[in-house]
Amino acid sequence: MGLALGMIFTGSTAKADDLRRRDEKRVLFAIDQICGDTWCEGDYNFHFRRVRCNFTLGSCVLEFRTAPWKSGSNQEFDWSDRKICVIRNVNSLDQLITTDRPTAELKSDPYEQITDCMEHLESKR
């Protein structure tokens, strides 16, 4: 995975990131919306921080952190180190989310890839 990341992020930030900030927010929103019914159910809180894409290389990197849920009034979370999931075979925003609706929804292929990544990360705990 480190080699893929090295290839994705070579060069300047502007060349390595094909998502505008507004579109990045839409992708993160779509991921967060599906999160509660899927990977985020359970003992951990998820904070999806960034999505960086290089459509020429056909890859996006989702960056997030997790923390064990806490009960009570103290909501200071002990956030983990940065975690990543690589989404492959994506060459445009339209391959990540629906863009023809006011509220974006995550497309099935990226959803399945993120699900596989989350399951892999969960198995390492």
44-64: pLDDT as tens digits: 788 899 999 999 999 999 999
pLDDT recorded at residue 45? 81
pLDDT recorded at residue 82? 87
- DSSP characters over 5-22: HHHHT-S-HHHH--S-HH
Taking the C-alpha atoms of residue 82 and residue 47, their distance in angstroms, rounded to an integer, is 10
Taking the C-alpha atoms of residue 6 and residue 69, their distance in angstroms, rounded to an integer, is 33
State residue 22 phi and psi, 5-degree precision.
-60, -40
Low-confidence ranges of the chain (pLDDT < 70): 1-16, 70-75, 125
pLDDT recorded at residue 41? 72
Q: What is the mean pLDDT of the chain?
A: 81
pLDDT recorded at residue 72? 59
pLDDT recorded at residue 1? 36
pLDDT recorded at residue 18? 87
Domain boundaries, the chain: 19-123
- DSSP characters over 60-113: EEEEEEEEE---SS-----PPSPEEEEEES--SGGGTB--SSSS--B-HHHHHH
Taking the C-alpha atoms of residue 7 and residue 13, their distance in angstroms, rounded to an integer, is 13
Beta bridge partners of 87: 60
pTM attached to this predicted model: 0.78
